[in-house]
Amino acid sequence: MRRALAVKVTAATAAASLLVHQQYGDYLASVEASAHAETHLPLSADAQKTEVVRVPSFLSAAEVEDLHELHKELQPLLGSAGRTSGNQAAAYRQGTWETSYLSTDGLFARARPALRQRLLDLAREVDAEHWNVMSRATRPVLPRCVEYHTVEPGGSLPYPTHYDAGSLVTIDIMLSDSSDFRGGEFRTLEPDGSMRSYAFEKGDALCFVSHKFHCVSPLTAGRRNVLVVELWEGVERQCAHRCERHTGECEHSARASLFRRVLNDLGSDL
Ligand SMILES: [Zn+2]
């Protein structure tokens, strides 16, 4: 008996050690793959001084509806991540803030190539007029991830100094009517310490330097859907998450994403 238990404990310890070893290997590879690209990113102090640029009605009502339909159609194939109202990793389908990675397996790029190009053109035009951060890149600036967010009551992005580390330009597009929800206001912490809010109506695009601090106040009612596109100096990612590796292969599949969330469920049941 005692011996069987000892064997079990040894096996569990070996598996845990293997997992940590593998995770550390992934971490080292991501640091190495990011080292070059990170040197061209805007410094935090510079990013804070940049302006958020609002492009009203970037998408028509029909185009917004099309994105909801596209998400519904692709959802079973997409990687996802979720957070609870306490901003902890959410178990499978239980988040108050759910993120679906439309860029999983290149699905968004294949399904809506013209919109993908319009988003790239928008970033380039806004950047050239306002910030010139993309011009620092020495390699092509491409989509890191295309995300569809669903926020329900209690969901928020509460940290005033949150930023999209490792990306150059972020585009948020509002896919909900302002009457569909309460709260959920996009805000930026400005260099003078003030918190700035923005008009953000259905179809509008808010474009900003990814390293500018931004947050979202808690949703108090309804549902808020937003499309988020991050552009980076790296390969156009097709993995099922927000990738940390600017170059090289990434194996993170939709299945791996689901498995991680189901494990989370099992963990919270224990
Ligand atoms: Zn990846």
Tens-digit pLDDT profile for residues 221-233: 999 999 999 999 9
Give distance in angstroms: CA of 88 to centre of ligand 1.
21
Rounded average pLDDT over 58-85: 96
Residue 157 DSSP symbol: B
Q: Distance, CA 162 to ligand 1 centroid (Å)? A: 21
Average pLDDT of the residues in 173-199 = 97
Closest CA to 36 of 229, 166, 143: 166
pLDDT of residue 261: 84
Compute, in angstroms, the gap from residue 7 CA to the centroid of ligand 1.
35
CA 51–ligand 1 middle distance (angstroms)? 29
Question: Does residue 193 have a pLDDT over 50?
Answer: yes
Residue 19 Cα to ligand 1 midpoint, Å, equals 18
State how far the Cα of 130 lies from the Cα of 133, in Å rounded to an integer.
Answer: 9
Check whether 2 has a pLDDT greater than 90. Answer: no
Dist. CA 250 → ligand 1 center (Å): 4
Domains in the chain, please, with CATH?
A: 50-269 (2.60.120.620)
Q: How far away, in angstroms, is 127 Cα from ligand 1 center?
A: 26
Distance (Å) from CA 204 to ligand 1 centroid: 28
Residue 269 reports pLDDT greater than 50: yes
CA 217 to centroid of chain Cα atoms: 17
Q: From the CA of 249, how far away is ligand 1's center (Å)?
A: 8
Residue 224 Rama label (left phi>0; alpha psi -120 to 50; beta)? beta
Q: Which pLDDT score, from 0 to 100, does residue 10 have?
A: 59
Cβ-based burial of 76 (10 A; exposed 0-12, middle 13-18, buried ≥19): exposed
Query: What pLDDT shows up at residue 214?
Result: 97
Say if CB 111 and CB 148 are below 8 A apart: no
CA 124, 144, 173, 105 dihedral sign is positive
How far, CA to CA in Å, does 181 sit from each of 61, 154, 207, 225? 17, 12, 22, 10
> Binning pLDDT at 50, 70 and 90, where does residue 168 land?
very high
pLDDT value for 30: 58
Please write the tens of the pLDDT for every residue from 121-145.
999 999 999 999 998 888 899 999 9
